[in-house]
Chain A
Amino acid sequence: MAKSKAGSFFRPYDDRTQPTRKIRGYPGTQKRTPARLYARVISIADATGPRFTPDDVAPEEADLSREAPDRPRALGQLISLSGRVLDEAGRPIPDCLIEIWHANSAGKYIHHNDPSPVPVDANFRGRGRVVTDAQGRWQVRTVKPGGYAVPDAAPGATIGWWRPPHIHVSVFGAHFAARLVTQIFFPGDVLNDQDLILNAIPDKAARARMICRYLPHTTSNSAEGDVALRFAHDLVLRGRFETPFEKH
């Protein structure tokens, strides 16, 4: 397990709250999962990691719904998604680089790997980057992604399924061991309960934490011309101790 003599800089993940590595019906997981893992010795190499600042991103990167502030918006439901990045003790993590990407409102990614015949949207930026502020807060604007059919791996195969609308996020936290790559799902979607990827997380409460919250609107709809439907989502990164690695 991930422990060091210095104490517990971070604890091993609770496997019930993390997805299984292999998923029946998702062949890629069978090809790419090692049979076993080896004991990890935690050191200063895990307790340190790359650092980012707000200067590393441009303000327009927080708006995935259009290519630039003076360009038209992509089609779809305009949403705002905001939240905080916290550690396990609930402390905010500032200066986290968050990379975000997702499918357009019809369920098509801007990516050469996406073979889907679903239409592209020339105005959709589809990717964004933000850095958390001193309180660990972040916010993006985008259009709500569509669900999409996962193609069958072979002709006649019956292993495909529909992915629910989801937003991919990649987070660089305060150290290398806090690296998080995950997805955010939407409340009330009928596809959530049958998604092989979301439901690879055994613990029900942990699955529920993957779904963002709808925020009832609190301001006048006429305050601005392009009101977004608001959602909130906090991300919790591993780690909480400030244990220095000097007790070895």
Chain B
Amino acid sequence: MKVAYWPGCVSRGFTPELHGSMAAVAPLLDIELVELDRACCTGAGVIAEHSQELADTLNARTFALAQAVQDADLMMNICSTCQGAQSESQERLDANSDYRTHVNGTLAGEGLSYEKGLTNKNFLWLLVEEIGLENLKAKVKRPLTNLKVGPFYGCYIVRPTDRLGIDDEHPRDHYLHWVIEALGGTVIDYAGIHKCCGFPIITMNKDASLTQAGRHLSDAQDAEADCLVVPCPLCHLNLDLQQPLAKKAVGRDDLSMPVLHLPQLVGLALGLEPKQLGMSKHVVKPTAVIDWSSAVVGAPAPA
């Protein structure tokens, strides 16, 4: 399938391994990525905090660019925070035609216009709803047997449920669990699964922010997870890049929890090598912590 692909800022900035691993995994899943390289930041909730209209207009521009991609099935992102910020703007734009007309008026100078009803899915949703778990399972070359994975969703992709289309038919707050299982891994249940990584307040209340990250890492480690998997690069910053400080914040010297981006976990099961997926770029190197010989059985099966 062909998707208008919004990679976000951080996946091309401080977590380049996310963008890189997505690009490596896409062809294996028959996803053609048309990168929206003309679009700007979603505002991550901060621009909306400053001015809703500004955030909505910037996002409407991105939506319009996505709708201009020929034959694209939908728009896809790889960042929970982008999904949340875009869904918030889209909710307002779709709910009120006067508002939409007004915002489109601002975009008119560039010849762009957003038409109600864009489908915008995080890679996680796309995996389950478009590619399908059975299809995904069939593509697995190296099942993640014995790998104990703690899902960490990030707030923006699970709340508010009505805005994000989470209901009985679309239990999107369960999808990470399902994907881990489809890849052959074992889901680890721990307290932090649907909690906040603390990133948004890292500059405002650093102690509280790092304590949040430290607690979730500790809970996962105490539940004997080998690693966490996140669909959000901002969670990754607080859980991985800041892990040495988070350890101190909760007084846990023994903490050492690798945090994988979702495309990395998928890529691993589809037979790619850790290095190809940029796993050596993490602060907590997954290769240093996970015993790959027992956790991920052998080399990938021959094609």
Q: Do these two chains really belong together in a complex? A: no
Query: Which residues on A are within 8 Å of B, measured CB to CB?
Result: none
